[in-house]
Amino acid sequence: MSISAPVEDRRTAQRQKGEPLRVIVADDERDILDTLALILRNAGHTVHAIHTGRDVLPAVRIVRPEAIILDIAVPGMSGYAVAQEIRHSFVDVRRPFMIAISGMWTGDSDRLIARQVGFDHYLAKPFDPQEILRLLAGV
C-alpha cells in the first residue's frame, strides 16, 4: 500500500526546473500579448492569452498555471487587484510565480505596490522578452 504525497510534493516531482510551464499572459495590447505568447510557445511553454483582468481569475482556477505575466493596467480588473486575489486564493497550495508588466505605472511606488499585492517581479515596458524567459527558467 502506498501513501500518496501531498499535492505540492507531487507538483514538484512532476515538473523539474527548466521544464515547460503553463503560463497565463494578460495584456490588452494585442501586439504585446501575441508577441509574448509566441516567444513563450517557441520556448516550449503552454500559453493562455487573456485580454482582460476579470478573465484572469477564472482561467487561473482552470489552467492552474505555474506562472502569470500580467499587465497592471489591464481592463476589467486591475493587475494589482488580480494579483492580490491570487495571493489570497492560494493559501493551501503553491501560488503561481507572478510577473507584473506596465508601461504606465513604472515608478518606485508602483513597484512597491506590486510587491505588496503579490507580484514576484516587475518589468517596465518596453522590456526585453529574454528577461521573462530568464525569470521563468528559475521557476
CB 101 within 8 A of CB 71: yes
Look over the chain and give the mean of its residue pLDDT values, rounded to a whole number: 87
Q: Say what angle helices 56-63 and 79-89 make with each other, to 10 degrees.
A: 30
Contacts of 9 (CB under 8 A, 6+ apart): none
- Cell triple for 34: 501575441
Q: How far apart are CA 64 and CA 55, in angstroms?
A: 14
101: pLDDT strictly greater than 90: yes
pLDDT digits (tens, 9 = 90+) for 26-79: 999 999 999 999 999 999 999 999 999 999 999 999 999 999 999 999 999 999
Helix (H) / strand (E) containing 46: strand 46-50
Residue-level pLDDT at 7: 40
For the chain, what are the domain ranges?
29-137
Pick the CATH number of 29-137 from 3.40.80.10, 3.40.190.10, 3.40.50.10490, 3.40.50.2300: 3.40.50.2300
pLDDT digits (tens, 9 = 90+) for 11-36: 444 445 668 999 999 999 999 999 99
CB 83 within 8 A of CB 90: no
